[in-house]
Amino acid sequence: MRRLVIGCAFLAAAMSVTACGGPRAFTRGSYEDPSEIVLLDDKWNPSDMQLVAKTMINSMEAWYDANTISDKPKVILEMPRNRTTEHIDMLALYEHIRTALINSGKFGFLDKDARQEIADEMQYQGSGYVDPSEAITPGKQKAASYLMGGSITSTIQEVGKNKVIYYKATFKLTDIETTEILWTDHKEIRKDFKKKSIGF
């Protein structure tokens, strides 16, 4: 009987600890405006990505308008470089910029990542299994005129309870034929944080 009482006491204590200190699941949520700036921690976040993307999109469109370019520039990506100490989804940033520029009707982008799959598909279509009148033949792909790339750097200053994070994102557009940088711009982001004292 005594062992049963002790066992029940231990079980009750364990359940109490789990209920009070254990991990809790997120059970309720709501949709929010993705453009609203939210800072939940001191890491790179979607709001930072949107600020950078908006600056680059507006700047590239202004460059296009100022130079009265007649032909739609064909652009290919030089993968942006993450020179910070944290993980940043550079591909997501690029896709954000690319989507807006394509939808503006001012820029065309070539899909470098799909080249091998396209080559394989063309080879299959020319193998005799596909109706020759419908088969896509090589030699009609567009050539890129510009290379777009960029980088993100960061500086962190932490003194006592204060922490300052500074990001700088720089993008550029390079003429493939001449290697001349025709457009470049940057976006600076500074975020200040303060540690809260933990009371008992």
Distance from CA of residue 45 to its chain's centroid? 9
User: What phi, psi does 109 have (nearest 5°)?
Assistant: -120, 140
- Predicted pLDDT of residue 17: 46
| Regions of the chain with pLDDT less than 50 | 4-8, 14, 17-19
The Cβ of residue 178 has, within 10 Å, a number of other Cβ atoms equal to 8
pLDDT tens-place string over residues 89-116: 999 999 999 999 999 999 999 999 999 9
Tokens 């949709």 sit at which residue? 31
CATH number of 43-194: 3.40.50
- Predicted pLDDT of residue 69: 77
User: What phi, psi does 144 have (nearest 5°)?
Assistant: -75, 140
User: Which residues make Cβ contacts (< 8 Å) with residue 83, sequence separation at least 6?
Assistant: 151, 152, 153, 154
Q: What angle do CA 8, 13, 15 make, to 5 degrees?
A: 95
- Predicted pLDDT of residue 115: 92
pLDDT tens-place string over residues 22-50: 566 767 766 666 666 666 677 899 899 99
Distance from CA of residue 140 to its chain's centroid? 31
- Predicted pLDDT of residue 157: 92
Distance CA 40, CA 46 (A): 11
Distance CA 191, CA 46 (A): 14
CB 190 within 8 A of CB 164: yes
Distance CA 109, CA 65 (A): 18
pTM above 0.85, yes or no: no
- Predicted pLDDT of residue 68: 78
Q: Which long-range contacts (CB under 8 A, 24 or more apart) does 99-102 make?
A: 100/53, 100/57, 101/57, 101/60, 101/61, 101/75
- Predicted pLDDT of residue 12: 53
Question: Judging by DSSP bridges, how do beta strands 108-109 and 74-77 pair with one another?
Answer: parallel
E strand intervals along 59-135: 74-77, 81-82, 108-109
Distance CA 24, CA 7 (A): 26
- Predicted pLDDT of residue 126: 92
